[in-house]
Amino acid sequence: MPVALSASQQVVALLARGWQWRDAHSDVLVHPLDHGLNVTYNRVDDTLSMSAGLLAAMELVVVTPAGKSRRQ
């Protein structure tokens, strides 16, 4: 069973995948190719909230079990 990551661990993972801070004093991480896709990091509560654009994009994701093609 996968281990759930904390918000701060998810921030590190997003940064490793090319996401960037909006600016030097921001708590907003933006997607490298589409800044409309972003998450806001609440450092006090250690939580993330997604932008409306990212929520809409996540609705398009087709979850596929490991080892299965999405075309099967």
Tokens of residue 65, six digits: 């079990």
Q: Give the count of domains, the chain.
A: 1
Instruction: From 30, 36, 4, select the one nearest 15 (Cα to Cα).
Output: 30
pLDDT score for 38? 96
Q: Is the pLDDT of residue 53 over 90?
A: yes
Asked whether residue 67 is assigned to any structural domain, the reply reads no
Asked whether residue 1 is assigned to any structural domain, the reply reads no
Domain of residue 39, residue span: 7-59
Q: Is the pLDDT of residue 69 over 80?
A: no
Least confidently predicted of 17-21, 26-30, 35-39, 59-63: 59-63
pTM: 0.77
pLDDT score for 37? 95
What pairs with residue 20 in β-bridges?
Answer: 30
pLDDT score for 9? 96
